[in-house]
Chain A
Amino acid sequence: MIQVQNLTYSYPGTEKQVLKDISFEIKEGEIFGFLGPSGAGKSTTQKVLNGLLKGFGGSVHINGTDLSKMKRSFYEKIGVAFEFPNLYLKLTALENLQLFASFFKSKTRDPDELLKMVQLEGDRDTRVEAFSKGMKMRLSFIRSLLNQPELLFLDEPTAGLDPGNARIMKDIILDLKQQGVTIFLTTHHMDDAGELCNRLAFMVEGTLPVIDSTQELRLKHGKKTVRLEYMENGMTLSDEFPIDQLAFNPTFNEILENQEILTIHTQEASLEDIFIKVTGQQLKQ
């Protein structure tokens, strides 16, 4: 769906390259995530891809068409939710959605249905200036779904949300993926990235040192062992066993049969561990 080749970008009037020769591909129907610390270039990449930033180097093709030759109708099937909610504060939630719906020629979704999806139906007639940041984020998110996009850009979609609302958003994102929507997501939140993304790219200072499937990353960088915690003679003990041939490991089986098992965990690496290991940088900056 998206092919990016040797993309470079510098903001006008600056020498410093924010994006340094990055290449990647996003397949149709997948959630592709950019994981990296703040200022790494994640949002800049999104802005280049959704046409907000012009004058980039390299090439970007979306559905086979060169981005620089894209017509305005391209946006009929694109949805963009920004990192900071940009809404009309003096208008109500419903009016914000109705006004933005008028910017599309294609049929748009019922605003009430969208408001219900993120539990804002009770606030539909409240001016947005009275909304909390989390409510604005949710409204901004559903605004990006008005035109039933085939390609969705989400910039830090769960930033500023409490765990309950973050869960609602993640469920909607996973549901959109089920419906075949291609999603490009940027985050510095490793749990979101791990839960939502099919494939991940690690971004560090405008480069992409790693692009791989989430599963592969965990397998490649994790220890292939199982950690067992158990009680023996009133004491809590733990042991690690290789996953390979685990069923035939006599010690493992002996503990399973004779001791009280407290926990069993495979020792996959967390995405944060992998990020630090591969890039030498911390995620939360």
Chain B
Amino acid sequence: MNWSAIPYDYKLLKGDPMLILSLLVPFILWALMHLLFPFLEVLVMKQWNVDISPYYRQTGIFFLMLIPMMMGMVYGFILLDERDGGIITAISVTPTGKFGYLKLRMGIPLFLSFVFIILFLFLLGLTGTLNILQLIVISLLISSQSLILLLLLGAFADNKVIGMAISKGFGILLMGPLLGFALPAPYNWSGAYSPLFWASRSLLSDSQDTFWLYASITFLFHLFLVWILFRKFTARSD
């Protein structure tokens, strides 16, 4: 990994308010959960006599899934900027090469997502009965969702307009855990098309066995998607 290139990312981000705003999303989500949810809890109870507190964890987990998506989008758009400017081609003829470049582009959103997710889990008390190893594993798995969006943009988006469309379409994967939470069995399995469905199941597991089973499915699902998209990206002639 070419660590010395990282400080320049800050300078690339600095000029783009939309990207900076996206990086603030984890804090906004935390504030919504921390401040708004208790307020809503009281309000909904008063108005409709419904207790929404059992859904605190599900809501938090859904918000958590937005973090890697935002990171993937931020860095995916930097990648598209670099493609537009012919930068990826210029890096391709250095020893770092396209592969080295991609490692750098993938490493930062993965790392940032991981840090934010771990913080999110602890600060909002979403850890449940999971031990520290399980929390690290599931945080890494959810973080790798950022790579899928980044690579999806890198592999298929020729420009930012297509990039925006892909990012919006990516929201379909977020529907997976929502379907899992909202629908009764067996309809809740309709969210199984999304790796995030499996990740959310893993996070909500009560037993060791189910945690590792769902975590393994999430891992294999992500590995398959990253592998396909990585190949597609590196096969491009830019």
Q: Which residues of A contact B (CB under 8 A)?
A: 12, 50-53, 72-73, 75-76, 78, 80, 82, 84, 86-91, 95, 99-100, 102-105, 143, 147
In the complex, A270 Cα to B8 Cα: how many Å? 48
A sample of 21 inter-chain contacts (CB < 8 A) reads A52-B92, A52-B93, A52-B237, A72-B96, A72-B97, A75-B95, A76-B95, A80-B90, A87-B87, A90-B11, A91-B8, A95-B8, A99-B8, A100-B90, A102-B5, A103-B96, A103-B100, A104-B94, A104-B95, A105-B95, A147-B94
Main secondary structure of the interface of A (DSSP, over half): loop
Report A-chain residues with C-beta under 8 Å of the C-beta of B96.
Answer: 72, 103-104
Q: Report which B residues bind A (CB closer than 8 A).
A: 2, 4-5, 8, 11-12, 14-15, 82, 85-87, 89-97, 100, 237
Least distance between B167 CB and chain A CB atoms (Å): 21
* Docked CA distance A123–B85 (Å): 20
Chain B nearest Cβ from A94, distance in angstroms: 11
Q: Looking at the assembled complex, report how far the CB atom of B182 sits from the nearest CB atom of chain A, in whole angstroms.
A: 43
A-B contact count (CB 8 A): 69
Instruction: Report the bound CA distance from A147 to B96 in whole Å.
Output: 13
* Complex contacts, B2 vs chain A, CB 8 Å: 102-103
Q: Which single member of A50, A86, A105 contacts B87 (CB below 8 Å)?
A: A86
Determine if A88 and B94 form an interchain contact, defined as CB atoms under 8 angstroms apart: no
User: Contacts A12-B237, A72-B97: A82 and B90 contacting too (C-beta < 8 A)?
Assistant: yes
Bound state CA distance, A50 and B95, in angstroms?
A: 12
Q: Are B86 and A99 in contact (CB under 8 A)?
A: no
Do A103 and B14 touch (CB < 8 A)?
Answer: no
User: A82, B8: Cβ atoms under 8 Å?
Assistant: no
Tell me how far the C-beta of B83 lies from the nearest C-beta in chain A, rounded to whole angstroms: 10
Cβ contact of A88, chosen from B4, B12, B93, cutoff 8 A? B12
Distance, CA A88 to CA B90, complexed state (A): 11
Cα distance A94–B46 when bound, in Å? 62
In the complex the two chains form, is B86's CB within 8 Å of A103's CB? Answer: no
Task: Indicate whether A53 sits within 8 Å of B94 (C-beta atoms), given known contacts A90-B15, A99-B5, A102-B4.
Answer: no
Of all chain A residues, which has the CB nearest B86? A86
CB within 8 Å for A82 and B86 given contacts A72-B97, A102-B2, A104-B95: yes
Tell me the smallest distance from the CB of B60 to a CB of chain A, in Å.
36
Q: Which residues of A contact B97 (CB under 8 A)?
A: 72, 75
Contact B8 A80 (CB under 8 A): no
